[in-house]
Amino acid sequence: PATLATFPIRRPIVWYCNEPPELFTNWKRKPIEALNRWWVRKSNMKCIVADETQAVRFEKIYGIKPTVIPYGVDYGFWSKRISSPRKDDGLRLLQVGTITPYKNQLESLVTLYELVSHGIDATLTLAGSFTADAKYFLDLQDYIKIASEEQPDFWKRIAYMGQVNHEGVRMLFGNHDVLLHPVEEQGGWLVPFEAMCAGLPIITTQNFSASSLIEKEGLGKVSFDLLGAVEELYNNKDAADTEHAGMWVKENLSWEKFGEGMVRVFEEAIG
């Protein structure tokens, strides 16, 4: 764990915990993680997380109540929606993230299959590196192969973009109708909020650590029933208040607010 790089320094320490390293562990790391938990408590470092879900998780692991400071989002960049002329009226689904079990692209593929089975002309774009977990990528290919036996053109409805830079992701936001975000309990925090800035409706599940915030503020759909959520948006374009979501991000998740929150914790740390 990176926090052990400060051991045994006796000076103010602030740790912005993206996610506790214990979530990505194996038995060989147990002793060093135990030392890390002891050091986090013993050093009296100030600890910060991005949302309430992470705060509960952090306190359970370390026995310390952290400060919650959400990440900053560059609204000015992401709100400059760039789109190209459409050649069809089909439903364009998008998922952004490295292709791994944590990002759960399989759920998006299943949703695509179900939509087509219901007579909806849908496609799915997967943006993100597919070299991080070769086995999982092959699992996705196996599913596509099986699904194509029932729907012969199913494989044609899926586009792999590989790693895409920020400008490319922004363009994808502008050229799609819905962002699917069925991530598991690790990672993927920024993507849906960046999509909101671009005016793209988002659908995530309760497993996403910021799902309670999205649900509370009415920023998007939160449901384990991705099929039902997509069909609701497909049948009722007004079901998603994308303007409200974008303005909420602009007013509440700015880099200025993030910086102000961090400075307050730095000042507390140095007394």
Are 185 and 152 contacting, i.e. CB atoms less than 8 angstroms apart? no
Tokens of 13: 């320490």
Confidence of residue 10 (pLDDT cuts 50, 70, 90): confident
Give me 176's structure tokens.
């799609």
Question: How large a percentage of the chain has pLDDT more than 70?
Answer: 100
Q: Using alpha carbons, list the distances in angstroms from residue 228 to 13, 85, 126, 205, 231.
A: 46, 28, 20, 12, 5
| Predicted confidence (pLDDT) at residue 84 exceeds the cutoff of 80 | no
Q: What are the E-state strand segments in the chain? A: 14-16, 46-49, 67-68, 91-96, 122-127, 158-162, 178-181, 202-204, 221-222
Query: pLDDT tens digits for 42-76?
Result: 999 999 999 998 999 999 999 999 999 999 999 99
Residue with structure tokens 């996610």? 19
187 pLDDT above the threshold of 80: no
Percent of the chain past pLDDT 90, that is, above it, reads 85
Q: Using alpha carbons only, give the angle 49, 53, 57 rounded to the nearest 5 degrees.
A: 75
pLDDT number for residue 252: 96
Phi, psi dihedral angles at 104 (to 5 degrees): 60, 50
What confidence score (pLDDT) does residue 218 get? 95
d(CA 58, CA 19): 8
Hey, which residues does 14 pair with through a beta bridge? Answer: 46
Q: What is the DSSP-derived secondary structure letter of residue 251?
A: H
Phi-psi region of 162 (alpha: psi -120 to 50; beta: other; left: phi over 0): left
Q: What is the DSSP letter of 129?
A: -
For residues 125-142, give the mean pLDDT: 95
pLDDT tens, residue by residue, 205-257: 999 999 999 999 999 999 999 999 999 999 998 888 999 999 999 999 999 99
